[in-house]
Amino acid sequence: MSDSNNDNPFDPPQPERFEPSPLPAPHRAEPLPDAPAPIHAPVPAHEAFHPADPVLGGADPAAGLPPDTRMTLDGTSVWLNRLGEELVAWLKTLASAAVYATLIVTFGFQVARVEGMSMAPTLQDQDRLIVNKLAYRLGDPKVGDIVMLYYPLKPEKSFVKRIIAEEGDQVRIVDGRVFRNDVPLDDSFVPPDYRSHDDWGPRVIDEGYYFVMGDHRNNSSDSRHWGLVPKKYIIGKVQLRWWPMGHAKVF
């Protein structure tokens, strides 16, 4: 029996054949017409490094230390520099304050403390005062002013008194009543039990001098006992009682 198919079913299959596809043409990079030529920086020679460069082991004090150690040292230096600048600024401020305080005390104002009762009831023992020293550099003391003055018999001591009369005035005291140029002074601020009953004068006040008394007339050492006060011994005008705080008063 014959078969029209000539293939032998027992022949081994033939392997498939592949034809290689043609490879594409390689891509050729065309240089841009205006592209600049590459620049090659030369490697610096040894002389281009700073002598203290830590890479070369120069004179850097932090050479050879780990990076974190060098950062710590740098931070400490910056902190010390800032601290020094702050201290210098504070010292300048304190010096300026001391100079200003000296000028104020010398030429402007002075803090004083009352000791004793010779100016009672106007001023009490241990009252704190501000004395205006500029007042009598710009003008003259006036009758009725409360002043701080050097004690004429012992100038290293100072007193607080009230001016009763100035140069050219005539003063007399009759039974404790004070007359200035034959006109009785208004001494209503003196309580009856603070009045004196002495007599003094009459006397004309010398040029450049003042007659002073304490408000506590029967308990005051003043011009009735040790004489007149030269103008140059008057330190300044009592401007303010600032202590005790509850009894602060401007004069």
Per the annotation, the verdict on 231 as an active-site residue is: no
Catalytic residue (one of 21, 77, 118, 142): 118
CA distance 223 to 201: 11
CA distance 160 to 149: 6
Sign of the alpha-carbon dihedral angle for 195, 200, 204, 206: negative
Kindly report the backbone phi and psi dihedral angles of residue 176, in degrees, each rounded to the nearest multiple of 5, phi listed first: 85, -10
Percent of the chain beyond pLDDT 70? 66
CA distance 117 to 125: 6
Q: With contact defined as beta carbons under 8 Å apart, do 81 and 108 qualify?
A: no
Catalytic residue (one of 161, 220, 223, 237): 161
pLDDT of residue 234: 97
Sign of the alpha-carbon dihedral angle for 57, 59, 62, 67: negative
**pLDDT tens sequence across 114-160:** 999 999 999 999 999 999 999 998 899 999 999 999 999 999 999 99
pLDDT band per the 50, 70, 90 thresholds, residue 18? very low
Q: Is residue 240 predicted with pLDDT exceeding 60?
A: yes
Residues 6+ apart with CB under 8 A from 50: 58
Q: Is 225 buried (19+), middle (13-18) or exposed (0-12) by CB count in 10 A?
A: exposed
Q: Which two tokens stand for residue 116?
A: 């004793």
Q: Is residue 83 predicted with pLDDT exceeding 90?
A: no
pTM of the entire predicted model: 0.61
Per the annotation, the verdict on 4 as an active-site residue is: no
Element (H, E) at 91: helix 67-103
Instruction: Report the CATH number of the 114-246 domain.
Output: 2.10.109.10
